[in-house]
Amino acid sequence: MLHPGARHAGAANPMRTAQPLHPTRAGPPTKRRVVAAAAEAAAAGSGSGGEAAVVGIDLGTTNSAVARIKNGAPVCIPNSDGDALTPSIVAFGEGGATLVGRAARGQPAATTYYSVKRVIGRGADDPIAKEEAGRLAYELTPDDDGAVMVACPHVEPGALYPEEVSAVLLTQLLADAARDTGRAVTKAVISVPAYFDEAQREATIAAGQLAGLEVVRLIKEPVAAALAYGLDLREEQVVLVFDLGGGTYDISLLEVGNGTIEVLSTGGDPHLGGDDWDAAIVGWLEREHLHPAGINTREPEIAANLKALAEYAKIQLSDHDSVVLRMPIGGPNGGPLRVTLTRQQLDGLGEDLFRRARLPLDAACWQAGVDLNEAMMGLQEKREDMARRGVPEWKREMLKLEIRPRGRSAISRVLLVGGATRMPSVRRFISHMTGLAPDEADVDPDEAVALGAAVQAGILQGEVSELMVLDQWQASLMRSLAQLQLRQSKQAREAVEGAFDMEGLGEGEAADGGESGGSGFEDEGEGEEDTAGAPLVQQQTQPKPRKQQPGSGGNARRGGKRRAK
């Protein structure tokens, strides 16, 4: 298992020897062992001298990345292979030696761990853990407390917690960062999905501590994406984050405004991603060419080559209308195979996948108070009515779908995360479902989450100004204190009145906030969805005030009643 003192050892060589977390401790494994070891690892790293670097980490299901602030902007740090992305794979060998990333591919399946993010922090009886057990090539086993472990005969006591595997991966990322910065890395901001519960969040923190981090701060992945895209947090808007990675699919609706970001709703499919389009291409090659030629595609070498060829085809078709695929077998008379796959064919192969992709989008919109089916049907009915009235087709096409969450603005932007969003068919799907074209900002969707995490890391380091990142409880506490000060201090009230349009508000209304926040401020922290622990991002510049017209409703009406009294 991971030795805390070996955090940066072997940065140039991915092979490292792992040692027991507690070599002198006998008995069965328990979750307490990991918690204690994490605390020891963090304590061991606290004595490092010199100014330490702070980084942002996207600890992904398929790939991971680490980024930092350089010359005032977030940049991804390349690994020892020169790549910004490191495959989230860890292989254990004899004596506990480990291989990380690309080097771990091709190792014995039973001790090569991938997608551990799917089971981190879960119990063995968790339905998702049971489902994953049938999909993974390695074995899942429970500990004495019922928590999930992964079987590993190369370490004592024969099993590892998912966070221990993640810690090995984090160790390599931190070593890459230390090599790039020339400084020790003892603090990091690590991204987690918006739907992670407290146990999963705590397990992620434990993984960071096991890797030797003194301070671990979490940020929700869609919030990190919003930071990477540089949203103006003062502008009120509702944003859709569409995250389609290699093996997972996540949808999030964010409300931005008054300097904060709040997660309104989430949806997703943990088993939908770019790999499924690869599998669709492999299936097409098998059905149309290889199986009729009598090729056994289950042979490991052939299967691996097919997957690599399919991934190449998918990437090429993101930029070209067709691609030529070649294989040394499967052709006429036992010769080489040469076939052409077009973008239109790939679109057809992915029809079922897009049907699956729609369900989480429907669910996320429904949680936010939008019936997507009803909205789309309403749009179609409006277009048909316009056609009956003789409105030209070009005018009918200008009528766009509007997705307006309950009591909020309509969705105005779509942010892309994950390499699979580069496929033109995915972008057309998004445009069709939302009526909006995805943002074309100069942000690599593979790197967006890591870059956003680096922005928050820069805030902790003092390298990014005019932004303040708050957790939900911190934001609520600050708002409560501000309201208390407004009630008790006439000077504070006069300062607020001088900065904001207070027209239509009665005496004392701005102070007590009325029923919806008052003073033109909206309580961003109290949505209908429980977002406990959700990081809020607050700009230190003045938020854009909301005008209240006399008698227009809401606070203005309540203010009028108070004046009448």
| Catalytic (active-site) positions | 58, 117, 221, 243
Do residues 456 and 188 lie in contact, with contact meaning Cβ atoms separated by under 8 Å? no
CB atoms within 10 A of CB 466: 10
- Would the CA dihedral through 285, 268, 361, 220 be positive or negative? negative
Residues 285, 403: Cα–Cα separation, whole Å: 39
Helix (H) or strand (E) run with residue 87 in it: strand 86-87
Which residues on adjacent β-strands are paired with residue 73? 70
Do residues 314 and 277 lie in contact, with contact meaning Cβ atoms separated by under 8 Å? yes
Residue type, 94: E
- Would the CA dihedral through 354, 360, 365, 371 be positive or negative? positive
What is the full DSSP assignment across 235-249?
Answer: S-EEEEEEEE-SS-E
Do residues 221 and 89 lie in contact, with contact meaning Cβ atoms separated by under 8 Å? no
Residue type, 39: A
Tell me the pairing of strands 63-70 and 53-58.
antiparallel
Residue type, 352: D
Query: What is the gyration radius of the CA atoms in the chain, in angstroms?
Result: 26
Of 194, 170, 201, nearest to 86 by C-alpha is 170
Three-class DSSP category at 332: helix
Helix (H) or strand (E) run with residue 384 in it: helix 372-388
Residues 92, 111: Cα–Cα separation, whole Å: 6
